Structure 1
Amino acid sequence: MPCRRTGLTQPVCLTLVYNLSSRLLVDSFIDCVDESKKCKIGVKIDPVNKNLTVRIPLTLEGEVTFADNPFQSGCITTGVHVTKN
């Protein structure tokens, strides 16, 4: 019989780096935010290389299901919300 765990949440920090000259997304990544770290919404531009860096605090919501067969276990993202500071 499968076991389902719902209501899981994880604060994360989404960082996007966009080059204004080339109009290309240079990089994007998500960092987990624990109690010792903070993610503050912000925008920064590097005048030399024209990179615009945007940081956005988010909260991911999801659920995990464990089946009798471990190869059938999985997780589902059920929501993404901007975290209020």
Structure 2
Amino acid sequence: MRNRSNIRTGAQIRAARALVGLTQAARAEEVGTTARTIRAWESRHRPPSDAPIFAGKVEEAFRRRGVMFVSDPAIGVQLSETGSFRAP
């Protein structure tokens, strides 16, 4: 499976957040945005127009927690072998 380097869908962000046990507020604080922005992103099938501003921060924060974004053969998320579940 390969990682995708583009901006993620709301479903991927929501799934990744669930994998590591983060609330929307915790994810927002970690990347310097608001819970409202994370909520808006997760409720859409595509990223909001301001997503490029913090998309790299969101993806990097998930990678630090062991989340891998995959796209082959289907779009999704998974924990890497070194990843771990971290409750909020």
Report the TM range for the smaller structure's normalisation.
under 0.3
Higher helix share: 2
Q: Which has the higher contact order (CA 8 A, sep 6+)?
A: 2
Larger Rg: 1
Give TM-score, length-normalised by structure 1.
Answer: 0.24
Give TM-score, length-normalised by structure 2.
Answer: 0.24
Higher strand share: 1
